[in-house]
Amino acid sequence: MAEERSVRGELIPFLVAALVCDAAVSDPSTGKKNLIGIFDRVNVRKFPGKRAMSLYLKVTDAEGDYNIEVRYVQMSSGKVLAQAQGKLHATNRRASVDLLIEFPPLPIPVEGRYEFQLWANSVFLGTTSIDAVEQRQS
């Protein structure tokens, strides 16, 4: 059997969608993806806080092999607080690929904006963010 050769992806993939949610499941019969609890803001009672989050990414126009990296960054300081890494092998640039990163509780040190950055072969492809706000006591 011919072994599939690893070819570094030269095309810059296009980020179609990036959404932060509580969970995501794939329908085993159709492959359709279901995102549960999409959000863009976190109410925190007391800083520092932590929260588990999932990140759904859809990319297209990828061909070859890519080292994928997702960085969770505190925007005010630029500090990377967590990261996810993996390999992506794409054979058809016209098809799209669904990525899911199930982060364990992520640190939310202070009020502000936090960004999920997608990198492929060290090229910055796009971003989505959440805002952490202090939950006022009523």
What is the closest distance, in whole angstroms, from the C-beta atom of residue 130 to other proteins in the complex? 13
| CA proximity to 24, closest of 77, 82, 100 | 100
What is the closest distance, in whole angstroms, from the C-beta atom of residue 138 to other proteins in the complex? 26
Indicate the residue among 2 and 99 with the shorter CB distance to other proteins. Answer: 99
Indicate the residue among 34 and 43 with the shorter CB distance to other proteins. Answer: 34
Under 8 Å CB-to-CB from 11, ≥6 apart: which residues?
61, 62, 63, 64, 93
What is the closest distance, in whole angstroms, from the C-beta atom of residue 133 to other proteins in the complex? 16
Q: Return residues touching other proteins (CB under 8 A).
A: 11-15, 24, 26, 30-33, 47-48, 68, 70, 73-86, 88, 92, 95-104, 107, 109-110, 115, 120, 122-127
The rounded radius of gyration (Å) of the Cα atoms in the chain is 17
C-alpha–C-alpha distance, residues 138 and 70, integer Å: 37
What is the closest distance, in whole angstroms, from the C-beta atom of residue 4 to other proteins in the complex? 16
Indicate the residue among 42 and 84 with the shorter CB distance to other proteins. Answer: 84
Indicate the residue among 42 and 100 with the shorter CB distance to other proteins. Answer: 100
C-alpha–C-alpha distance, residues 63 and 88, integer Å: 9
Helix or strand run (H / E) with residue 71: strand 64-74
